[in-house]
Amino acid sequence: MAQKEFPIYSDKIPNSVSCEIKMSSGKNSSGKTFYANITNPTLTVYIPSKKDPLKTAVLICPGGGYSKVVVEHEGEEVAKAFNDIGITAFVLKYRLPNDTCMINKEIVPLQDAQQSIKLIREQAKEYDINPNKVGVIGFSAGGHLASTLGTKFQTNYIINKENTNLRPDFMLLCYPVISMNVDICHKGSRDRLLGKNPSTELIQRFSSESHISLETPVTFVMHAQDDKTVPIINSIRFYEGLITNKVKAEMHIYQTGGHGFGLYNVNQPQHWFGLATKWLMNNKLISVIE
């Protein structure tokens, strides 16, 4: 399983200013690695030993409440699961909003996601992938980032002289933060991305349920009903918006599981990744697995 980490910007990092903050790492309560204070974003590519014939690729956005990026259980482990079904995976270590190091912190993670999907498509030949089958998966706050990428692709937040397509071809949203509206939002994610007293305009602009259209990519949504961190109504409202706009979508709700369980909800016998694999097959994003 080949792996390589590389910076997503070759020149000056956009929307950034010089600061003294240095990236740090640690372990969460489950012993999984996370990174904080990220100011130099990177992609790590995971290449399967045997590619699916359709040559699909996926950009992975781990969660962490926009205060850290939990790269192990919502990044590396997920990438290896995609490799097992023949999909090339790219884990994004995106910048975290910080007024000291950034000019407009609220658009910084989205800039990094757009730059990543641009790079993946432009390097499709190098990685032997299909540029028309590049999707995104996000967890928790990474789900907000993924859903923002999938609903705001018509606006270039990066330099894109090549006019590369920034729209993901599919989305998987796992216990995602969707809304910035105070009644249902994850307050920590909102405070870090938008500040403690965001304007009504800013709240609306970064509430993904408000930007679903007929062009929103086909979507798989997964959440647990008893999630006390990110209320399940986030996923429900997004799914309702997909239905209203006639976007093909599938949603799975676990009765129990809480938040942040990554690949395996230990409370449930049927793991969501198997359901997602069947969904990918049904949408002709991977071949039928015997």
Phi and psi at 269, nearest 5°, equal -75, -25
Say if CB 73 and CB 30 are below 8 A apart: yes
| 3-class secondary structure, 146 | helix
Tokens 């432009």 -> residue: 122
Distance between CA 9 and CA 289 in Å, rounded? 36
pTM of the model: 0.97
pLDDT given at position 3: 81
Distance between CA 66 and CA 106 in Å, rounded? 10
pLDDT given at position 267: 85
Q: Which domains does the chain have, with CATH numbers?
A: 2-8+25-282 (3.40.50.1820)
Strands 42-47 and 2-7, how do they pair?
A: antiparallel
Distance between CA 43 and CA 75 in Å, rounded? 11
Query: Which residues on adjacent β-strands are paired with residue 123?
Result: none
Pair of tokens at residue 207: 């509430």
CA dihedral defined by 80, 81, 82, 84, rounded to 10 degrees? Answer: 90
* Of the candidates 189, 256, 199, the residue with the CA atom closest to the CA atom of residue 227: 256
Average pLDDT by consecutive 10-residue portion of the chain (290 residues)?
85 91 88 91 96 97 96 96 97 96 95 98 97 98 98 95 97 98 92 95 96 98 97 98 98 96 89 96 86
Phi and psi at 223, nearest 5°, equal -160, 160
Strands 134-139 and 2-7, how do they pair?
A: unpaired
pLDDT given at position 248: 98
pLDDT given at position 173: 98
Distance between CA 25 and CA 68 in Å, rounded? 9
pLDDT given at position 290: 53
pLDDT given at position 30: 80
